[in-house]
């Protein structure tokens, strides 16, 4: 019984990876770098994008918004006059808790890939399953809010291991919390040694320049030989 | 293909409900009321339990802690000298993002049901999938932190509909946030009209008395005819 389940999961992930490679081929053909942005619900992904993408000079950016229901985030980002496509997962039973490669693939025709340098895919807010599904991205970024507490890397290790950059958000709130940011960073380093991180506040703008720089340089990094 | 997937999901939920009924029968036999406590990661479930269960006079309480990995929350609650059992979901691929009835069932032999009036099951931090799986509980409580923003009921409607009580936590932080609590409550009422809610702060203790009262009265409510 357990063995059968594991086998089904493996098959599903094999199928996902095959479609992720097809997405990757489409992105490469159009010379688009792709970020998969992940976090728990309410960690501030959309507010960070509002801040960072507003002034991304010289990089033509589009956004694919993943949500169980609604288009609240896509509506907000549309105000930046970027191409934004909403992808809702509630066609699945009760709402899928993550994006997978096939969902992203169904949205690609709605995106003007030929006119983009960078595509940001904002995943469904969830610290577990999004980390299990590649979608054809160059880089995975996760956002962790200091309000979530310093133990999150230890409790959701796969997510914190599966990313190339960690944004520690809402640092403006640290004086009002009992959180120990040094311990949060030590826990992060314990599960993903050496992963780059940035301390940011989407609300005040602190640290957002560094994130913007990282995004601006991604196309060059992605094109460089590994 | 899609039809097949829906069918598989329905079968899985049927199987889950069958096991949930078996759990329910065990709880009834021992006269134990059961709460399924759900939230996004870092909304403050464990800190609320530390506050509320410490002084739950006259009610013998136990806790089943669900986490992908680690026993951090169980270790914290053990300090209250309650029976606490840790249930890790990382035996599933990459870690299951929710508890289901069968996982709870495997943990029941480790719990002294005959010596309990109330069992609190702290689910995995996730606003999507835990709402889809009944585990045999009397009541589902969800915790929503004001730091997550006022849009969460609209973006994760199933979770906010699937509960009998909503705790709006971390209200001590409201002066430091841009969140509009009235709008959060209006959004909650839009997706789940009339659901009871409490404004609480696990950090300062504000509102925790009301939550404690609700938990204390649950066995009587659960025993009353519907």
Count of C-beta atoms within a 10 Å radius of residue A16: 18
Which residue among A5, A70, A147 places its CB closest to the CB of B147? A147
**Which residue does chain B place closest to A39, by CA atoms?**
B41
Write down the pLDDT at residue B96: 86
Determine, yes or no, domain membership for A14.
Answer: no
* Predicted local confidence at residue B93, as pLDDT: 56
The confidence band for A185, taking pLDDT boundaries of 50, 70 and 90, is very high
> Would the CA dihedral through A106, A134, A63, A73 be positive or negative?
positive
Query: Is 0.80 surpassed by the pTM of this model?
Result: yes
Is A14 an 8 Å CB contact of chain B?
no
Contacts of B163 (CB under 8 A, 6+ apart): B38, B131, B139, B140, B141, B142, B192, B195
Average pLDDT of the residues in B155-173 = 96
Tokens of A174: 């640290």
Residue A77 lies in domain: 33-223
Q: In what order do the strands lie in the sheet with B84-88?
A: B84-88, B61-67, B118-122, B33-39, B139-145, B165-169, B197-199
Q: Does B216 touch chain A (CB under 8 A)?
A: no
The residue among A128, A147, A160, A172 with the most chain B CBs within 10 A of its CB, best to mutate, is A128
Q: Does A205 touch chain B (CB under 8 A)?
A: no
Question: Averaged over A49-71, what is the pLDDT?
Answer: 93
Residue B108 domain-assigned (yes or no): yes
Indicate the residue of B70, B95, B151 with minimum beta-carbon distance to A128: B95
The terminus-to-terminus CA distance of chain B in angstroms comes to 41
Question: How close B170 comes to chain A (CA, Å)?
Answer: 9
Q: What pLDDT is recorded for position A1? A: 38
Our count of domains for chain A comes to: 1
Q: What is the mean pLDDT of residues B164-178?
A: 97
Nearest to A176 among B145, B152, B173 (CB): B173
Do A173 and B178 lie within an 8 Å CB cutoff?
Answer: no
Residues forming a β-bridge with A121: A36, A64
Nearest CA in chain B to A153: B69
The answer on pLDDT for B173 being more than 80 is yes
For residue B5, pLDDT beyond 70: no
Interface test with A, best of B8, B16, B41 (most A CBs within 10 A): B41
- CA A145 to chain centroid, in Å, comes to 14
SS3 call for B87: strand
Instruction: Check residue B37 and report its DSSP letter.
Output: E
CATH number, residue A97:
3.40.50.300
Evaluated on CA atoms A215, A217, A220, A223, the torsion sign reads negative
Note whether A142 contacts B: Cβ–Cβ < 8 A. no
Q: Flag whether pLDDT at A170 surpasses 50.
A: yes
pLDDT at position A200 is 98
Question: Which residue has better confidence, A33 or B94?
Answer: A33
Residues B110-126 pLDDT 10s: 999 999 999 999 999 99
Residue B24: inside a domain: no
User: Which residues does chain B have within 8 Å of residue A132's beta carbon, measured at their own beta carbons?
Assistant: 93-94
More confidently predicted of A54 and B49: B49
Residue reference for tokens 């380093």: A189
Q: Is the pLDDT of residue B35 over 50?
A: yes
Please indicate whether, in this complex, the C-beta atoms of B157 and A96 are within 8 angstroms of each other. no
Residues of B with Cβ-Cβ distance to A178 under 8 angstroms: 203
Say yes or no to pLDDT of B14 above 90. no
Least confident piece of the model among A51-60, B23-32, B35-44, B127-136: A51-60
Burial, B161: exposed, middle or buried (Cβ in 10 Å; 0-12, 13-18, 19+)? middle
What pLDDT, on a 0 to 100 scale, did the predictor assign at position A224?
Answer: 76
The interface predicted TM-score of the complex, written ipTM, equals 0.90
Q: What is the mean pLDDT of residues B102-111?
A: 95
Chain A environment of B172 (Cβ under 8 Å): 176
* pLDDT tens sequence across A114-152: 999 999 999 999 999 999 999 999 999 999 999 999 999
Residue B117's nearest CA partner among B83, B66, B71 is: B83
Average pLDDT over all residues of chain B: 92
- R_g over Cα of chain B: 17
Min Cα separation A125/chain B (Å) = 8
Q: What is the pLDDT of residue B1?
A: 38
- A147 domain residue, yes or no: yes
d(CA A82, CA A71): 15
Q: Is the pLDDT of residue B163 over 80?
A: yes
pLDDT in tens, A187-226: 999 999 999 999 999 999 999 999 999 999 998 887 776 5
Q: Residues B180-198: what's their mean pLDDT? A: 98
pLDDT (0 to 100) of residue A58: 87
Cα B96 to Cα A113: distance, rounded to the nearest angstrom: 34
Neighbours of A71 (CB within 10 A): 16
3-state SS string for chain A? CHHHHHHHHHHHHHHHHHHHHHHHHHHHHCCCEEEEEEECCCCCHHHHHHHHHCCCCCCCEEEEEEECCCCHHHHHHHCCCCCEEEEECCCCCCCCCCCCHHHHHHHHHHCCHHHCCEEEEECCCCCCHHHHCCCCCCEEEEEEEHHHCCCHHHHCHHHHHCCCEEEEECHHHHHHCCCCHHHHHHHHHHHCCCCCEEECCCCCCCCHHHHHHHHHHHHHHHHCCC
pLDDT higher than threshold 80 for residue A24: yes
Give Cα separations from A116 to A20, A27, A213, A221 (angstroms): 19, 10, 17, 16
- Residue B225: predicted pLDDT: 67
By C-alpha distance, which of B157, B98, B97 is closest to A69? B157
Contact (Cβ atoms closer than 8 angstroms) between residue B126 and residue B159: no
Residue A25: inside a domain: no
* Chain A contacts in chain B segment 22-81 (CB below 8 A): 40-42, 67-70, 72
The closest alpha carbon to B132, from B107, B157, B159, B105, belongs to B159
Q: Is the pLDDT of residue B76 over 90?
A: yes
Chain B CB contacts of A129 below 8 Å: 94, 97, 129
Name beta bridge partners: A67. Answer: A88
Q: Per-residue pLDDT for A54 more than 50? A: yes
Structure tokens at A87: 């992808």
Lowest mean pLDDT among B44-48, B63-67, B92-96, B162-166: B92-96
């Amino acid at each position: 019984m357990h063995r059968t389940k594991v086998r089904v999961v493996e098959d599903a992930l094999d199928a996902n990876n095959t479609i992720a490679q097809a997405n990757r081929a489409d992105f490469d053909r159009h010379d688009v770098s792709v970020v998969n942005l992940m976090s728990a619900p309410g960690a501030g992904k959309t507010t960070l994008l509002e801040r960072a993408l507003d002034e991304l000079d010289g990089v033509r950016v589009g956004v694919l918004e993943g949500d169980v229901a609604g288009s609240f985030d896509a509506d907000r980002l549309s105000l930046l006059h970027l191409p934004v496509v909403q992808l809702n997962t509630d066609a699945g039973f009760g709402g899928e808790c993550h994006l997978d490669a096939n969902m992203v693939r169904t949205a690609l025709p709605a995106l003007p890939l030929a006119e983009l340098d960078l595509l940001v895919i904002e995943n469904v807010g969830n610290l577990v399953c999004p980390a299990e599904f590649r979608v054809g991205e160059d880089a995975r970024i996760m956002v962790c809010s200091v309000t979530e507490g310093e133990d999150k890397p230890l409790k959701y290790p796969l997510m914190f291991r599966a990313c190339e950059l960690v944004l520690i958000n809402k640092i403006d709130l640290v004086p009002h919390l009992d959180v120990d940011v040094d311990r949060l960073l030590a826990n992060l380093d314990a599960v993903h040694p050496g992963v780059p991180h940035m301390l940011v506040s989407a609300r005040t703008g602190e640290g957002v320049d560094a994130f913007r720089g990282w995004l601006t340089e991604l196309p060059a990094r992605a094109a460089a030989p590994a």
